[in-house]
Chain A
Amino acid sequence: MTKKESAPLIETKNLHKSYFNEQVETPVLFDINLRIDAGEFVAIMGPSGSGKSTLMHILGFLDVPTSGHYHFKGESTEEKTEDELARIRSSSVSFVFQSFNLLPRTSVIDNVTLPLLYHSGTHPSQRREKAMKAIKAVGLTDRATYLSNQLSGGQQQRVAIARALVTEPGVIFADEPTGNLDSAAGKHVMEILQNLHEEGHTIILVTHEKTTAEHAARIIRIMDGRIVADDRTFERRIASQVKELK
């Protein structure tokens, strides 16, 4: 397929993934056909072991499919080398992890700057400014010089979101971003993700919780490696309007 303005951001055809352990094949994903447009907020929902994380890794260029096609921004990704995949990760995608994955004993600003070190599009002199802008977007300007381990879990996850924003990627993958947080901090994180979506960011949320998935505009359900449902969210939760449970 040629690169076109109207091409979807993500498009997979008959995507299949198996793991091989001593020549024993363990299939994880079967026949995934998916289309996600720029600006969408999609939740990939399924129980643990359903293959949702594997799908996210493939869509986020951390892993490659065993067979099938994956077009990103209209471009085929099958023939990419490891270093080319690293370049796509650097320029076009970013991740928010369940366990935050911040560098310990490192300041908030240095954590947020980290992706820019590998980002060819950012001159070293612009790094600080970009990082501060991302930190402001998650409301942590006054914590910029704190060390990551001096922050609460919710604040750490917000730093991780700032880190995901800093390269202005095409899509942000959030893997159970509220999994390690209490409900108030989780609500705050979902509020930020919804705001980012409002501002035009594409967000792919991976979760096993129905209530978390319902913050997205579209929910793709995965079971045993297959897509079993793909619907608009029936009753969408808006984090900023949900009363705190406490």
Chain B
Amino acid sequence: MKLRDTVTIALKAVTGNRARSLLTMLGIIIGVGAVVLMTSVGESMQSVILGQISALGPKTVAIWPGKNGPEQGAATLNPDFDSITMNDIEALRRLKTISYVTPVIFMPGKVKYGTEESDVTVSGTTPDSYINQPIIATEGRLHDEQDELNGRQVAVLGPDTARDLFGNSSPIGKRIDIGNQKFTVIGVLEAKGSQFFQNMDERILVPFETARVSSQRSYVDMVGTMATGDTADAINDIQFLLRRRHHIIPPTTGIATDNDDFLVRSAEQAQEILGTVSTSLTAFITMIATVSLVVGGIGIMNIMLVAVTERTREIGLRKALGANRNDILLQFLIEAIVLTLLGGIIGLLLGLGMNALVVGIASKFLERYIFAVNFIAMAAALLMAAGTGLAFGIYPARKAAELNPIEALRYE
């Protein structure tokens, strides 16, 4: 018997009882659908985050005071909030392995224009930050070295902040209150959307010097910089420098930073962390898929056993007409595989459809959230589905193949 004939018979058997076939396949459909959906969402999220990292520039290195990294407005929770001083900044600027050292001070106080009020974050930063994270002004201009040197009271607004405070009228030249000081708006930033779940369009940038003077601080909240070469070298240099300046005994082994009163992170490290996260996510999805495919497989085995009993006479007839054990074995085995593979394909399409739905919704909230699929996961899910058919179809198929033709023909 030709394989093609066997497949034809199997397809006929599967399509002959559509409702039952569909119910039988349900476990496989859900399993494969879930895998396709989850891996696709994972892929999309990864591309969003990787896109943000690469927009940030993989050479970006950030330094925060304290052990636990960025905790804005949580100075009281961070006993080392004042560990990075202006003198540290000057020392960092002398390092060869980094360039564009841009300190940041977050200014406290409410932002006001007339009766409009906003809790937007006000960052005092040097014009170098516009090189680290390239951005342009769509209206007016960005602050420059002159503003910096003179400590001018000027402000650049994110587009959302501009709209919140000024509606549709132009904010350029208008004066706003930050805390108890007056600032003149000189520019509006281009829209950037969200980065790391932070709205980049809702912020105010002022010259660093202005922020430093007005807050009367000698320490900074954050330092952004760029590695000139290898980021690992840059991180080493920064850690060495700050530990020496802060009299911290360097850790003797590994990367332990327990004694540090600062934290250094690079975009590259973030990428690596993301890689680890996505690996554990994949392992988790694989586990779910395996469980659902096993459950689905037991369903397939059940229904195949019923099919063998139901078609006992047919099996007897086929044997009487000359079918050998292998012909019967293959017929039922292929029927099981056709069931699971078909279920797999339906699940795949369902997963892709659901993913399209998710993309439709998510792209409204997340910039750069695009339709992405993991082809390897899709192929693996289909293969696993077919493998399930093989594994769980073999027992019923053997049962069918071993039937005695005379008894099978007499079966009522």
Report B-chain residues with C-beta under 8 Å of the C-beta of A86: 319, 322-325, 327
CA distance A101 to B410 in the complex (A): 10
- Residue numbers in A under 8 Å from B406 (CB-CB): 57, 62-63
A101-B317 contact given A86-B325, A90-B322, A118-B323, CB 8 Å threshold: yes
A60 vs B4: C-alpha distance when bound (angstroms)? 29
Provided the pairs A62-B406, A124-B2 are in contact, do residues A114 and B320 lie with their beta carbons within 8 angstroms? no
Q: In the assembled complex, how far is the CB of residue B320 from the closest CB belonging to chain A, in whole angstroms?
A: 5
Q: Which residue of B lies closest to A104 (CB)?
A: B314
In the complex, A60 Cα to B409 Cα: how many Å?
14
User: DSSP majority for the B interface?
Assistant: helix
Using Cβ atoms and an 8 Å threshold, which residues of chain B touch A101? 313, 317, 409
Residue of A at shortest CB range from B6? A117
Chain A proximity mask over B284-314: 1 for CB below 8 Å, otherwise 0: 0000000000000000000000000000011
Question: Which residues of the other chain, A, contact B326 by a CB distance below 8 angstroms?
Answer: 83
| Assembly CA distance A90 to B324 (angstroms) | 9
Taking a contact as CB atoms under 8 Å apart, the answer to whether B325 and A94 are in contact is no
A52 close to B (CB within 8 Å): no
- Nearest to A166 among chain B residues (CB) is B321
Residues from chain B with a CB closer than 8 A to the CB of A115 are 321-322
A81-104 vs B, Cβ < 8 Å mask (1 yes, 0 no): 011001101110011010001010
B1 at the interface (CB under 8 A from A): yes
B321: contacting residue among A57, A82, A114, CB under 8 A: A114
Q: Is A237 an interface residue (CB 8 A)?
A: no
Residues of B within 8 A of A83 (CB): 324-326
User: In the bound complex, do residue B325 and residue A118 qualify as a contact, i.e. CB atoms below 8 Å apart?
Assistant: no
Closest chain A residue, CB of each to CB of B331: A117
A119 CB-CB contact with B under 8 Å: yes
In the assembled complex, which residues on chain A have CB atoms less than 8 Å from the CB atom of B4?
124
Q: At the interface, yes or no: A105 with Cβ under 8 Å from chain B?
A: yes
Q: How many A-B pairs fall under 8 Å by CB?
A: 59
Neighbouring B residues of A57 by C-beta, 8 Å: 406
On whether the beta carbons of A105 and B314 are closer than 8 Å, the reply is no
Within the assembled complex, what's the spacing in Å between the Cα atoms of A54 and B405? 13
Q: Does B258 contact A (CB under 8 A)?
A: no
Contacting pair A82 B317 (CB below 8 A): no
Contact of A117 among B5, B314, B325 (CB under 8 A): B5
Chain B nearest CB: distance from A93 CB in Å? 9
The chain A residue sitting closest to B313, CB to CB, is A101
In the bound complex, residues from chain A placing their C-beta under 8 Å from that of B1 are 117-118
Interface check B16, CB cutoff 8 A: yes
Instruction: Determine whether B93 belongs to the interface, using a CB cutoff of 8 Å to chain A.
Output: no
Given A103-B314, A118-B327, answer yes or no on A89-B322 (Cβ-Cβ < 8 Å).
yes
Residues from chain A with Cβ under 8 Å of B322 in the complex: 86-87, 89-91, 115, 118-119, 167
CA A6 to CA B326, docked complex, whole Å? 35
Enumerate A26-72 residues with CB–CB distance to B below 8 Å. 57, 60, 62-63
Bound CA–CA A117/B12 (angstroms): 15
Bound together, the chains give a CA A83 to CA B317 distance in angstroms of: 15
Q: B-facing mask of A109-152, CB < 8 A → 1, else 0?
A: 00000110111000010000000000000000000000000000
A101 to B324, CA, bound (A): 18
Q: Give the complex CA separation of A163 and B321 in angstroms.
A: 9
In whole angstroms, how far apart are the Cα atoms of A167 and B321 in the complex?
10
Contact A105 to B16, CB < 8 A, known contacts A62-B406, A117-B5: yes
Contact A89 B321 (CB under 8 A): yes
Cβ-based interface call for B318 (8 A): yes
Chain A residue numbers with a CB within 8 Å of B323 are 86, 90, 117-118
- Pick the contact of A114 from B318, B324, B409 — CB < 8 Å? B318
Residues of B within 8 A of A82 (CB): 324-325
Nearest CB on A from B368, distance (A)? 54
Which residue of B is nearest A88, CB measured?
A: B322
Complex alpha-carbon distance, A185 and B105, angstroms:
103
Distance (whole angstroms) from the CB of A133 to the closest CB of chain B: 18
Q: Which 4 A-B residue pairs are closest in the complex by CB-CB distance?
A: A90-B322, A86-B324, A118-B322, A115-B321
| Residues of A bordering B, CB below 8 Å | 57, 60, 62-63, 82-83, 86-87, 89-91, 94-95, 97, 101, 103, 105, 114-115, 117-119, 124, 163, 167
User: Can you identify 17 A-B contacts, CB atoms within 8 angstroms?
Assistant: A57-B406, A62-B319, A62-B405, A62-B406, A82-B324, A83-B324, A86-B325, A89-B319, A89-B321, A89-B322, A105-B16, A114-B318, A117-B323, A118-B1, A118-B318, A118-B322, A163-B321
With A86-B325, A119-B322 given, name 20 new contacts (CB 8 A).
A62-B320, A62-B406, A83-B326, A86-B319, A86-B324, A87-B322, A89-B319, A89-B320, A91-B322, A94-B321, A97-B409, A101-B313, A101-B317, A105-B16, A114-B318, A114-B321, A117-B5, A117-B323, A118-B318, A118-B324
